Structure 1
């Protein structure tokens, strides 16, 4: 077998350092941006400064872990970082002999590792090799010293996909690792990794890149490629990438070919490519909705749906606008998101127009609508209904104003009596009894029964509900109560558990009934009747208003006696 065949077989077995994706491009072949601009040194990593600082300090002090766990979303750089770390652990140059995060100039082993030819750096793809036999084969060589490098490095990608037996086989080596062996794990599902493995690793959570930072990075790469991409286009690509550098580069690659050479990639071209809505027009729709202009707001979103934008994507963008408004309110002059200057100024203007509670209510309405849209038979119709609900909320007093009105016990100026009794206080939902009455009126029978049977009410006021739950209560009863209250009021509610709630309605009914029976049985006339009729029991106690004329007027209660002849 030739050396080339041997290398190919090793790559197919995924025991190479980089695999085929790192093979040099053939002359004249186009290299995609995600490969072309993959970081080659730790300085090239963006947004991971904390991790690099920790590694640098560890290498300088000699406190180097024997196993590393890298976790984060797809495309954030886990595998790239693992490969850089393998080079760093084995770094040796003319003027430096020891682990180092400074990989310039290329070390003695760097080229071999980058070319997938180093025998001491082995990689396992756990997504395709999950069995215990694969793990044992990999670890069989762990007891042998490295061939030429300082450490034998095992990289296991998507480690969460290993079987339980594979984890158990790995655990023994992790517990007592040979001094020359290092493990580097990468995963997108850190919760699926057994804690017995996690506890033996130095963990690094690779951060999502903020849209502004990612847009700036993509802009620099576009400039190197000689491509012109508008500021809006870069912002849209960065948002669509959701913090993933690889996804951002892939989308940028696609965007560049949307126009002829020399022409700029506009925001409109990116929106058409990704099926996004026009963010400027979505801001128009948002402004019209919170101003109560139903027709204009609907026309804006409907026109974008007709233009190819997905209803779910439109609603997601509206959610981002609502979130940006709240963030702008909280951060004030420090608010600096990615995107054109007019986006920032319009967001700040809306942040000044709404109160913090109104902004939070708007977010809640949109989020609830987004969840409904996922199961709606017609997403476009569901989107229209969400917009109309947002418009309807514009006619309500702000939550702050509603709270003041409730505290003062009066309606806001200019409101008619009918309006004063509408959803801001939803019939006075400020007590357990009023909430139960509202459930009864709206025929929410299941929730009403569960509230009476399992909920021990605590302090309750409008917007805040506390209680203690019985052990047998359904797990979702409070979530459904919160949803009901927010639907009826249009406001956010805090629904939380406490200790020391009052008794349930059902328990109170049983206690009251038992007390009335005991009181009736203690009445002289009834006690005499029970004594004279062996086997008689009290089956009901009726209020005095329903008493029979035959019972003496001074009796507090009336009873029915069930006389049973004993066998």
Structure 2
């Protein structure tokens, strides 16, 4: 490796365990095993990209083969072995990219080569990077040698996909899971590199780099390298410049936008978003940052500034904490669900920018729905729903009421007008109970609607052209719209359908299941059943035909 390389990720690649950051426990374990001469047959390093898997593999190879021993391993004046391993030219330390040598023949060649002892080092070492790329046959060919290699042979594997490696291979290795580098530790590391490179970079810009890198040292150094190359002499890389370079925007703008959404300031919300979009921010980047902000608003009281991974500064953190005290958790859960759905929609729309604008407008509209009668939920009902904190279905309730009803308001009105014309001369049905509703569904051959009512609906209340229900996750998204239209068609009266936080009665299907279980349990207590079991111990009662009577 060229130690004078201008690429920071290579120039500052750790050469000894002391230079590694964020992997203290792992390095201490490896060093102790070498000192005690308890070196495993194979090491397996796993973790995300850019946290030092291959780097640790090379350091282990040097630690095993250094002419000065592990106690006095080379730091500056490298011995012949350490120098050759550093430059990837040691004859006894072979680095293999498993992505390009995946076949069983490649592994057989490797095994054949392992029959010969080391030439100039203590150990012959095979470093296999991205080992999960090996084929199944290649892994099988490696098993025997991996379990009982010659004393002079050591394997070091590195992978980002530990689940793709057969368990038979993993069990023959000493596994080490390298962790993401903590934000504070990575920030301090970047400050040292910045000072060595004499780069004029602000702490806020470095924090942004730390956030984008997501705990990867290589990513962080690559971003810093890119930022430094974009600067003119004597120019400072501040947060604003860094945001432009990396395509990120000021989080304070997003917090202001969020606050305006809560206030229902539609024009101002759209205006701020358009300014953000004009800065070159991609819609998916915006929506992901919006998701992150919703998370902070929901959990700000359980977080500290460090745990936000430098996404927020002190002022932004305090502002979110202040605003969040006036927002209900149900509202934030609703925002989270709709934001996730919008993220999916971005892949199917041609103009993602317009989709984001409509998403922001929908958020304001949905927010306002919680305090009016648009969803056919009166104020007393809303109050009772908000006071009942034990129900875990608030998220599904709000999502269904809004997304499944609101999106189709205009279309529903149009359909209703057409229906009104068609039913003028038809006889109207009288529906006063839930069972009568099921009978009408059967009579009108509305099989799908009857299925939903019997299987996925729990009745809470049925009275005065008003149905109050709870439901399970299998309920069709168009159920409320379909039922409302059919009830109006059948009765000539507009019905109000609301979702309740109460669990309600069991569904018809669940009642039938419970009845069946009750009959089976009752039958198993009879003398006849006991007599049959005595003669046929393997027999079991699985069903009772309750339609037949003795």
Please state if 1:58 is matched with 2:33: yes
For the aligned residue pairs, the C-alpha RMSD in angstroms reads 4.4
Distance in 2 separating the partners of 1:425 and 1:158: 45
Question: Are residues 465 and 294 of structure 1, via their aligned partners in 2, closer, same or farther at CA, if it must alter by over 3 Å?
Answer: same
Residue 80 of structure 1: which of 23, 30, 55 is its match? 55
Deviation of the 1:457 alpha carbon? 7.9
Q: Offset at 1:169?
A: 1.2
Tell me by how many angstroms 1:201 deviates. Answer: 1.5
For residues 447 and 252 of structure 1, the distance between their equivalents in structure 2, rounded to whole angstroms, comes to 59
- The answer as to whether partners of 1:38 and 1:80 remain within 8 angstroms in 2 is yes
| Farther off after superposition, 110-119 or 157-166 | 110-119
Q: Please name the residue that 1:235 is paired with.
A: 207
Q: Deviations over 1:262-292 (max 9, x none)?
A: 1101222222222223322122212222333
Change (3 A) 1:121 1:296: same
Once the two structures are TM-superposed, the CA of residue 33 in structure 1 deviates from its matched residue by 0.9
Per-residue deviation, 1:157: 0.6
Cα deviation for residue 65 of structure 1 reads 1.9
Instruction: Give the corresponding residue for 2:509.
Output: 504
**Is residue 160–residue 187 contact of structure 1 (8 Å, CA) maintained in 2?**
yes
2:459 and 2:44 mapped to 1: Cα distance?
45
Q: Distance in 1 between matches of 2:232 and 2:267?
A: 39
Residue 352 (structure 2) aligned to one of 379, 387, 398: 379
1:391 CA displacement = 2.1
**Mapping of residues 28-177 of structure 1, within 5 Å:** 31-93=6-68, 97=69, 106=78, 109-177=81-149
**1:525 corresponds to:** none
**2-structure distance, mates of 1:103, 1:195:** 37
Question: CA, structure 1 residues 390+142, in 2 after alignment: closer, same or farther (shift >3 Å)?
Answer: same
1:250 equivalenced with 2:222 (yes/no): yes
Using structure 1 for the length normalisation, give the TM-score.
Answer: 0.66
Counterpart Cα distance in 1 of 2:73 and 2:362: 55
Aligned to 2:245: 273
Unaligned runs of 5+ in 2: 372-376, 388-396, 405-433, 461-467, 482-496, 517-550
Q: CA deviation at 1:239?
A: 2.1
Q: Is the 8 A contact 1:56 1:100 kept in 2?
A: no
Structure 1, unpaired ranges of 5+: 1-21, 413-421, 467-477, 496-500, 512-567
Matched, 1:198 2:198: no
Q: 1:346 aligns with which of 309, 319, 334?
A: 319
* Alignment check: 8 A CA contact 1:42 1:101 kept: no
1:214 to 178, 182, 186: 186
- Residue pair 2:454, 2:508 contacting (<8 A) in 1 also: no
Residue 180 and residue 264 in structure 1: after superposition, are their counterparts in 2 closer, same or farther (change >3 A)? same
1:389 aligned partner: 362
Q: Matches of 1:359 and 1:102 in 2, distance apart?
A: 56
Q: In structure 2, how many angstroms separate the alpha carbons of the residues matched to 1:384 and 1:64? A: 59
C-alpha contact (below 8 Å) 1:289/1:390 kept by paired residues: yes
In structure 2, the residue corresponding to 1:504 is in which secondary structure?
Answer: helix
Measure, in 2, the Cα distance between the counterparts of 1:220 and 1:131. 43
Shift in Å, 1:424: 8.9
- State whether residues 76 and 206 of structure 1, in contact with CA within 8 Å, keep that contact through their aligned partners in structure 2: yes
Report how far residue 355 of structure 1 moved. 4.4
- Do 1:227 and 1:256's aligned partners in 2 also have CA atoms closer than 8 Å? yes
Q: Aligned to 1:116, what secondary structure does the other structure show? A: coil
